Chain A
Amino acid sequence: MYANQFEGSAAFSGGGFMPSQATQTADPFFSTSKNRDSQPLLPLTVKQISEAFQSSDDKSNFLIDGVDVNNVKLVGMVFNKTERVTDVFFVLDDGTGRIDCNRWVNEAVDTKEVEGISDGMYVRVHGHLKGFQGKRHLVAFSIRPLTDYNEIPYHFVECMYVHSYNTKLQKQQGGASTVNMTSSAVSTPSKGYQAAPPNQYVGNYGIDGLKGIDQVVMDYLQQPACLTREKGVHVTEISQQLNMPVDKITISIKALEEEGLVYSTIDEYHFKSTGNG
């Protein structure tokens, strides 16, 4: 098996397209952000997408509320559905604006999915946001007709909630974006802040009166990656990640626990933030 892999790479090593390079990104910070955990499905309105800041020439690199946007979910009405040879094109109108969408049709299941939608129908679309020469469009990977129209207010309420959550987080981080659903290392002049790479926890700013190590530990536990872990984070892990001694982390955790900001989970070594994930 190893021999085959070796031969495969050797075959490509002569030049042209090399698979080993295809998975590498130019920016080392982005290589860590491209995993599935850091690409949440963000509920958005078309208006938000239209105002998204395109942080570089990269065709899929948008920032909304300080968060890298890759995959999005929209709810709206289908217009101008056009079936083409390999894909289906349509315009989605969510009441805040219209965005062009396309859905590649490769298999029978894709064909069935797009056959089920028609102009004037309300759908929920999950897709990947792309931009090219200033034009934004959505490459849909799921289109589902709404059967319960309560999904419409639900979607927009979710958009407001996520917007609130992310903007609040931005304010809390006081100009330094850590790893809020992303590890963006790009500058965003429109918002006037320079994002920091992952694992760079700046403890010189305080939220709610927290200082020093307490703040740094809190920031670590507040990352979406930590918030979503059911068992919480082990003290040793925090210690290793923050490069601080375990006893100092333990003291800090105790203080945060007394403040009601963290709680122990499966045992006395695993902790989670009480903040909403």
Chain B
Amino acid sequence: MMNNFLWGEVMKYDVVVVGAGVVGALITRELSKLNVRVAMVDKFNDVAMGTTKANSAIVHGGFDAANGTLKAKLNVRGTELMPQICKALSVPYRNNGSLVLAFSEKEMEHVQTLYARGMKNGVPRLSVVNKDAVLKMEPHVSEEVVGALLSESAGIVCPYELTIAAAENAVTNGAEFLRNCEVQAIREENGEFVLETSLGEIAAKYVVNAAGIHSDDIARMIGDDSISLVARKGEYYLLDKSFGYMADHTIFQCPNEMGKGVLVTPTVDGNLLIGPSALDVDDKEDVDTTPDGLEFIVEKAKKSVPTLNVRGAITSFAGMRAHPVTDDFIIEFSAKNDRFLNVAGIESPGLSAAPAIAEMVAGMLKEKANLTEKSVYTETREAPVRFRHMTKSEREALIAKNKAYGRIICRCETITEGEIVEAIHAPAGARDVDGVKRRTRAGMGRCQGGFCGSKVVEILARELNVPMNEITKFGGESKILFEKTK
């Protein structure tokens, strides 16, 4: 399961992007269109394993960030780019709009403030609506609601699907993805960077530091200690699809003396997501859920949608946000070395802004290194086969072409063997059970992999030609099986 990497030989690239989250992957995709040798490296066994994996999956309107900040500018631009980028990459995106609910006249004042800020930020299709309008749009919202800010440009997208698609497209265009490649130190040699990694040494003319919660550590490797991040944990509940009807828009609350409030939102797959809590933690890898955090989000979410019931929960999870103490995105060449580009502190609205961040970063490197566009590249990424969404005749044609699409592996989500095999062999494909799950939804349904988990392990082992007990849940030591019983 190693990358095709030659030990002892230094790999050479023009640009190395450190971090394969949504930001890193979209940057790599932009760079893959240029005449430049680019690699994206990540310490994990897959893309989208950090902040990208667990967040609210929201494309924000752009009214939240203060005027004139990078956050405000890139949010509005990113939200504008999102529909077309999702279309090009065949990633589900829904322009469902968002509501910020007000439960008092005081909160209505806040809604007015947000409206004014949004208008200044250039947010399109923004309006203030009254109680009746809210309840008409969202019949399950609490009767206590007074009014709301409606942002019609807001939407939802699956962050890891976007990342997977971007990485696939980048690899198709010649970029490389090096997984299990942890950057441990960076030195300079003959005007180039040498990244000392867990896979060996990698030389790069330029480095893009998109290492998420670890971008401060990566910057420090070249003596740049300007980045100061706080690890902020957020916990979520994901509810069964049978609860998806409870919200159509993404429903926010006004911040009040009790804190920021939580959101209730549908997901592109039709589930209902509630969260997040917000807890600053010391351990950047601490994505454990806590009883208090989970209780908090349920209590808060019920204020918006009182009939919510966590008995419908199919899973809970926590994600880590990289909160910059400066409160704004950091996207600039390092003061220590102008071939080292920091893309750090990308907290909310980072997902919304990611397409704009990629555009900006590619532009900065293009100018810096005089990069030219490739004459031929693939702009789009074809949608993977989705048996469950197909018509009868499409299914027949598919199975006629490849029998593996006739074998259902995941019963709850109706995922075929063919889809799983495809996910494994895709560019930057799945190498572990969670990777298969994120690419195909196998194991994401009601039984949470109880039935299909062992079959997915079997298929991974067969396709990667390794014994079953080498297959992991998500790389590293997350192995599923020990030795043979006999």
A interacts with B = no
